């Protein structure tokens, strides 16, 4: 098993996920409580009804380097697949009445060898553009209680597995944060997510199984990625992977296809974060904790209760995004795990 050069620890597979939950406080997260939900619903939020691009003309007119009209168009272009290809996030199979060729309807494919099918699914996800793939059994703790519109959420009970995928972002572009260049990289990763989940869901459906593709909707991606063995949670509130650190976006597909789950991974992230604190020091708005130890302390209404971790102040973070008219990637770019990386030497 490989050793991570930064932590000196082996990449160890665990029988249980490496997070701790206080059941007396925890309940599944309501998506209306995240920043984008509160932007719509929470009249007390400092960013109530304030979209990221509301001040964009002024920001462009200010003429700061990296904030030009053309560079902003590049951000918008990069979002296109994510924002406009709605089938990517649809629970129902897509249809196209204008298609010249009818897609054949085939019998359900009976899986004889689950191990071989699991390998095939992972290879297919990589083929469609995922950089990392892991599989976990669905833990309903991570499914949102309600979606952004306030509809109660529950996944079909047969969807017991989640294929979780990470899409790598180019560190060099993220380092140019907060500018439209880094924003383009984020947006492009979101569009790649939409592309990959659309293709993978259709692959699974075409074998006769249920597939529910998901980006940031439906369930929390980070704990599912931890369950699926893609990485650990960092002080910056992000998934830290051995291969790309936090320079990834996460997407997933829920399915009833029988698959073999991966085990969660541990390689010393929590221990390293205790002393590092680089993201806390570099965050321009003090949104990341300086506490030595993770705790159950929450710091803004968007933090879920009952999870042992360093809570990030999403209110401060989003206000900074508003100021710049673009998201920030500083806590990804400065993280040592983004540059000192390791490949896991397992099949």
Which tokens is 304 given? 């879920």
- Say if residue 150 is preceded by a cis peptide, omega within 30 of 0: no
In whole angstroms, how close is the CB of 28 to ligand SF4 at the nearest point?
24
DSSP 135-159: EEE--GGGB-SB-TT--B----TT-
Residue with Cβ nearer ligand SF4 (206 or 321): 321
Cis upstream peptide for 27 (omega within 30°): no
Q: Cβ neighbours of residue 223 under 8 Å, at least 6 residues apart? A: 17, 19, 139, 141, 142, 233
Centre a 10 Å sphere on the Cβ of residue 317 and count the other Cβ atoms it contains.
Answer: 23
- Give the residues lining the site for ligand SF4 (CB under 6 A): 234-236, 272-273, 276-279, 283, 285, 287-288, 312, 317, 320, 328, 330-331, 334-337
Output the smallest distance, CB 46 to ligand SF4, in A.
Answer: 14
- Residues 240 and 250: their CA atoms lie apart, in Å, by 11
Contact 207, 109 (CB under 8 A): yes
- Write down the least CB distance from residue 20 to ligand SF4, Å: 18
Nearer to ligand SF4, 203 or 272 (CB): 272
Q: Between 84 and 290, name the residue whose CB sits nearer to ligand SF4.
A: 290
Nearer to ligand SF4 by Cβ, of 33 and 235: the residue is 235
> Is the CB of 4 or the CB of 330 nearer to ligand SF4?
330
Nearer to ligand SF4 by C-beta: 120 or 342? 342
SS3 content of the chain, % helix, strand, coil (to 5): 35, 15, 50
> Which residues face 165 on adjacent strands?
133, 251
Pick left, alpha or beta for residue 277 (phi over 0 → left; psi -120 to 50 → alpha; otherwise beta).
Answer: left
**Cβ atoms of residues 314 and 283 within 8 Å:** no
Least Cβ distance, residue 276 to ligand SF4 (angstroms): 3
Nearer to ligand SF4, 254 or 310 (CB): 310
- Min dist CB 234 to ligand SF4, Å, is 3
Instruction: Identify whether the C-beta of residue 346 lies closer than 8 Å to the C-beta of residue 229.
Output: no
Nearer to ligand SF4, 144 or 272 (CB): 272
- For residues 172 and 299, the answer to whether their CB atoms sit within 8 Å is no
Select from 223, 214, 192 the least CA-distant residue to 87.
214
Write down the least CB distance from residue 25 to ligand SF4, Å: 23
- Least distance from C-beta 282 to ligand SF4, angstroms? 6
């Amino acid at each position: 098993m490989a050793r991570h050069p930064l932590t000196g620890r082996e990449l160890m597979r665990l029988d249980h996920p490496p997070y701790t939950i206080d059941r007396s406080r925890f309940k599944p997260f309501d998506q209306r409580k995240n920043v984008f939900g509160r932007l719509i619903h929470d009249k007390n939020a400092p960013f109530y009804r304030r979209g990221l691009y509301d001040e964009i003309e002024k920001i462009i007119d200010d003429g700061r380097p990296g904030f030009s009209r053309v560079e902003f168009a590049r951000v918008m272009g990069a979002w296109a697949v994510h924002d406009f290809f709605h089938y990517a996030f649809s629970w129902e199979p897509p249809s196209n009445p204008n298609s010249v060729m009818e897609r054949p309807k085939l019998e359900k494919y009976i899986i004889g060898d689950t191990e071989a099918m699991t390998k095939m699914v992972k290879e297919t996800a990589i083929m469609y553009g995922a950089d990392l793939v892991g599989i976990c059994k669905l833990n309903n703790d991570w499914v949102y209680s309600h979606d952004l519109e306030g509809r109660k959420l529950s996944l079909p009970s047969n969807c017991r597995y989640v294929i979780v995928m990470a899409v790598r972002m180019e560190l060099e572009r993220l380092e140019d944060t907060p500018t439209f260049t880094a924003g383009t990289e984020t947006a492009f990763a979101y569009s790649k997510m939409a592309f990959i989940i659309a293709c993978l869901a259709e692959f699974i459906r075409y074998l006769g199984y249920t597939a529910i593709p998901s980006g940031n909707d439906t369930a929390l991606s980070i704990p599912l990625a931890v369950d699926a063995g893609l990485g650990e949670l960092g002080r910056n509130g992000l998934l830290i992977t051995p291969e790309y650190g936090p320079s990834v976006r996460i997407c997933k597909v829920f399915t009833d296809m029988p698959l073999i789950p991966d085990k969660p991974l541990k390689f010393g992230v929590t221990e390293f974060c205790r002393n590092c604190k680089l993201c806390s020091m570099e965050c321009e708005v003090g949104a990341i904790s300086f506490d030595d130890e993770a705790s159950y302390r929450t710091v803004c209404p968007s933090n879920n209760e009952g999870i042992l971790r360093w809570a990030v102040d999403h209110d401060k973070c989003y206000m900074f995004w508003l100021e710049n008219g673009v998201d920030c990637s500083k806590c990804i770019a400065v993280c040592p795990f983004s540059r000192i990386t390791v490949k896991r030497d397992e099949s």
